[in-house]
């Protein structure tokens, strides 16, 4: 069929729709629709935005951050390890504020035992026990997780000081600690490799294992999860024990690299790790988030902290930066923005009704 021009309008008519063009349009529409759905489900946007800003600023102001691989990666790994454990708990709508003290007391337990391998096992067991105790207070006793873990934060900090006599406890095998800080693969030290292993393990658990996927159901709607037959109490116990174990692992790594256990260790880790999880898109109310987002948040904050340290910024000032970033992350959460907009709309509607004459 030859094409002709519509003389009344001077334009060519639209091409006829054929099965091939209809299928192509449907495919394009389906792809775009699927892309929009996928992007809407992802929660890492704020973390990626912060990471981009931090990387650009560091490249301009403190480029040495990207050549001091061991320092930067070590800081990211320490923040990221604790943040991974927190992610497992926050996904279920709970909090674990005791991770910093768990890190400290586990390191002291490890350094107090002459046999280094026995000390490592004892430290990791300590983390599991602390996680189980936290879960017991939350699940069985019924105490709010914020209050329960806040109490454990102070109790464990005191225990770390008591066990260490308020002094750093040196490792009996200092050579093992020195060897542990030696890079194994390029700039990657055992600390970084263990962090990567923990990241992969938790990613597989939360995305591929049924028990891990149920964490999202527990955080999304706990009553619905119970009605569906999900063992909610058992999942909460599992989440807190994962958090305690990972915090203890961070304590072991920190003690080995420093060749001594400091009862004040972890005091600057809690805020940064918590911020890494929230900035990475983990919803405080639970049910949404990803391990990948936590990793992105840890990268952003780790690079930021190292940059500020190299610039001579004091730790207290660094905490102010992290606190402001955390506040912005919470405020800019899409759910919070929608709730705020809904509140503004309802307020304006109420004023309009009040001003409308009867």
How many CA atoms within 13 Å lie on the side-chain side of 303? 23
Most confident of 127-131, 172-176, 331-335: 127-131
- Of the given ranges (219-233, 249-263, 271-285, 323-337), which has the lowest mean pLDDT? 323-337
CA-CA distances (angstroms) from residue 261 to 105, 163, 177? 9, 11, 11
Between residues 26 and 351, the one the model is more confident about: 351
Give the rounded percent of residues in the chain with a pLDDT score beyond 90: 41
Confidence of residue 12 (pLDDT cuts 50, 70, 90): very low
Q: Find tokens 């809904």 and name the residue.
A: 342
pLDDT at position 31 is: 53
* 244 has a pLDDT exceeding 90: yes
Whole-angstrom Cα distance, residue 137 to residue 339?
32
Whole-angstrom Cα distance, residue 215 to residue 160?
31
* 219's tokens: 């955080």
User: At what angle are helices 99-112 and 69-90 packed, to 10 degrees?
Assistant: 120
How many CA atoms within 13 Å lie on the side-chain side of 257? 20
* 49 has a pLDDT exceeding 80: yes
* 12's tokens: 């060519």
Does the pTM exceed 0.85?
no
At 340-349, the pLDDT tens digits run 556 666 666 6
Mean pLDDT (whole number) for 94-100: 93
The 10 Å Cβ neighbour count of residue 204 is 12
At 268-300, the pLDDT tens digits run 788 889 888 888 888 888 888 889 999 999 999
pLDDT at position 177 is: 79
Mention every residue, 6+ apart, whose C-beta is less than 8 A from residue 199. Answer: 80, 84, 291, 295
Mean pLDDT (whole number) for 240-249: 95
Whole-angstrom Cα distance, residue 277 to residue 298?
8
- Torsion from C-alpha of 174, 177, 178, 182, nearest 10 degrees: 170
pLDDT at position 102 is: 95
The C-alpha angle 209, 333, 49, rounded to 5 degrees, equals 85
| DSSP structure string for 9-33 | TTBPPPPPP-HHHHHHHHHHHHHHH
Mean pLDDT (whole number) for 11-24: 51
Query: Are the CB atoms for 249 and 182 separated by under 8 Å?
Result: no
Confidence of residue 8 (pLDDT cuts 50, 70, 90): very low
Selection from 122, 106, 123, 97 nearest residue 240 by Cα: 97
Which helix (H) or strand (E) segment is 41 a member of? helix 19-41
CA-CA distances (angstroms) from residue 135 to 33, 109, 239, 256, 339? 41, 22, 8, 28, 31
Mean pLDDT (whole number) for 295-318: 88
Between residues 110 and 1, the one the model is more confident about: 110
pLDDT at position 148 is: 95
The neighbouring-strand residues paired with 170 are 260
């Amino acid at each position: 069929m030859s094409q002709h021009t519509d003389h009344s309008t001077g334009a060519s008519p639209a091409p006829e729709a054929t099965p091939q063009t209809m299928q192509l349009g449907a495919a394009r529409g389906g792809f775009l629709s699927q892309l929009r759905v996928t992007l809407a489900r992802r929660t890492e946007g704020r973390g990626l935005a912060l990471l981009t800003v931090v990387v650009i600023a560091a490249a301009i102001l403190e480029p040495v951050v990207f050549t001091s691989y061991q320092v930067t990666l070590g800081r990211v790994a320490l923040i990221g390890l604790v943040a991974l454990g927190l992610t497992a708990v926050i996904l279920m709508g709970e909090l674990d504020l005791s991770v910093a003290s768990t890190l400290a007391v586990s390191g002291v337990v490890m350094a107090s035992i002459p046999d280094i391998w026995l000390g490592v096992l004892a430290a990791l067991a300590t983390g599991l026990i602390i996680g189980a105790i936290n879960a017991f207070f939350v699940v069985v006793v019924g105490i709010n997780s914020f209050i329960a873990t806040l109490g454990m934060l102070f109790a464990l900090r005191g225990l770390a000081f008591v066990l260490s006599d308020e002094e750093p406890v040196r490792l009996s095998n200092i050579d093992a600690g020195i060897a542990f800080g030696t890079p194994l693969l390029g700039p990657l030290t055992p600390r970084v490799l263990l962090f990567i292993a923990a990241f992969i393990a938790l990613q597989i658990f939360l995305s591929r294992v049924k028990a891990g996927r149920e964490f999202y159901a527990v955080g999304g709607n706990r009553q619905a999860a119970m009605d569906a037959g999900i063992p909610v109490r058992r999942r909460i116990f599992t989440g807190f024990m994962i958090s305690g174990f990972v915090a203890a692992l961070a304590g072991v790594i920190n003690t080995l690299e420093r060749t001594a256990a400091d009862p004040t260790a972890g005091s600057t880790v809690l805020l940064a790790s918590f911020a890494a999880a929230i900035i990475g898109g983990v919803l405080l109310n639970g049910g949404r988030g990803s391990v990948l987002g936590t990793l992105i948040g840890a990268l952003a904050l780790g690079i930021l902290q190292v940059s500020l340290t190299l610039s001579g910024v004091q730790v207290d000032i660094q905490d102010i930066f992290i606190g402001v970033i955390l506040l912005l992350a919470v405020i800019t959460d899409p759910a919070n923005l929608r709730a705020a907009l809904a509140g503004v709309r309802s307020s304006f509607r109420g004023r309009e009704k009040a001003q409308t004459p009867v």
